[in-house]
Structure 1
Amino acid sequence: MSTARDGVQTLIASLFSLPTISSADGPLAQLPSPTTLLPRAKPLPKPKPPTKWEQFAKAKGIQKTRKEKKIWDEEKQEWVDRWGWKGVNKKEETQWLTEVRANADVDHDPSKAARDARKERVAKNERQHKQNVARATQSTGPSTGPSTAPVPNSIRKKEIDRTLAVTRASTASMGKFDRKLEGEKKLKGLKRKFEPTEMAAANEKSNNMAILAKLDKEPTVKKSRKSESSGSDVLNVRKAIRSASKGKGSAALARDSGGKGKKGKR
């Protein structure tokens, strides 16, 4: 404790040895300007490219106003969150009484309709954010890679459509029961062609005869290289000669067969 006390006294004495100014809270010491430049651990962040709305607001001279996170609730007589858990944006989903139009459907659920509308707004914001990122990437080029040329709109649109088609077909229902996005086109695929249930007798006969011709046709078997070189599809001559001569070859087989014939004549 004595060491800490001595250190604090020395620090305070060195501070008040500097020029001081008077204030309502007492004298304040004026610290000297820093002389040592500390290096940054990371480079300065690059300015983000403006979004589509920021470009429009700048052209029209619209000033950006930041909304407060909390608003006053007249019913509860307290400040509540504008978004998030128990936010005012979910008020229509949790209220116990909701006004419904007279021509509404019998199974109309106002809570579900409000929840779907809120989720649709969230999805729209996310989609606009991705479009802004893609537009900024196109204008400035990718940060890494051999080429930094901007991507044409046609190629980027094809890539987005291809990615969307792959994600739609990645679910268990192959995208049949997935929620469609706004402006999404129907996927085009291969359509099966079915023959009519009633057709002319001549057409039906020709179709059946074509099937029978395919069934009656013998399968084509590729010839091996050995059979092609020997010239016979049934017997492999080289293998037969090698087996009969016990590996000596055709000359030895001919010599043995000729010698046996001369000996028999004698």
Structure 2
Amino acid sequence: MDVSNILASHAAKYQSVTVEKETPLDVDAGFLTVTDPNPIDEESYNENLEEHLQSLARDGVQALLASLFTLPTRPSPDGPLAQLPPPTTQLPRAKPLPQPKPKTKWEAFAAAKGIQKKVRDKKVWDEEKQEWVNRWGRHGKNKEVEDQWITEVPANADVDHDPRKVARDARKTRIAKNEKKHAQNVARAANPRDARKQEIDKTLATTRISTASMGKFDRKLEGEKKMRGVKRKFEPTEKSVDEEAKASLALLSRLDSDAKKTRREPPAEESVLNTRKAVRFASKGRGALALAKEAAGGRSSKGSKGRRIGGKR
């Protein structure tokens, strides 16, 4: 009995589980994907597109199932489960990379000054108890004054002075300050553009009030808000004689002080004695030449007088 026809029809109906391609299929069991790098057969593609696509899908699924049956399995109530390996296909990110977290004011200051961050221990040594206690929290070292049963009171304290309440209020103030700084850092990290905009607006407002008109006649930028609370104080046009005299004296005193500031100071190597001032004082304002003539004349008269006295003798 010839069964070759029966086997041929069976083989045509049930294809082989082995997929043979010119270029092997790229199977990624981690993502349950199959990539076919082979070029498209134009003849079969143009002849029957649906059959061509079904053939490609069948080969890909067959290769994927063959790779899954080679993976290790583990038992479960629903049956054996295959343990998928890590994916090998590099997929692009669905979202952009996260922006770097902006530094807080302390972090920026520490980076500029080269200060290294030190992690403080949660435990601290208590000399009185001779044991390690918590730095914060329940029965923490920061609550030592609040929890102790006796506390020294200053001599100048009020009658109703409560040291425990003072220590508690100081601790609450520190906590509130830290929470406020933390909220500012979170807001700055959430909206860095808003923080930068506020900084630019503040700088712009500072430059506006540097002019004589307090920015009234300066060129306005597009979208710039109107400044409020910036006014220039003008002196009244009419004043009494005493007020005008005081204003004039104040102006002269400022001019004199400015002139003294701009006056050249002598170098360190020069003498401390002001020779010009000393000569002006000794000559009573007549100058060094008059002082020299006076000194020369005084010596000659003194000598002639001495000779005359000697002649009389």
Normalised TM-score (structure 2): 0.33
Larger radius of gyration: 2
Normalised TM-score (structure 1): 0.38
Higher relative contact order (CA 8 A, sep 6+): 2
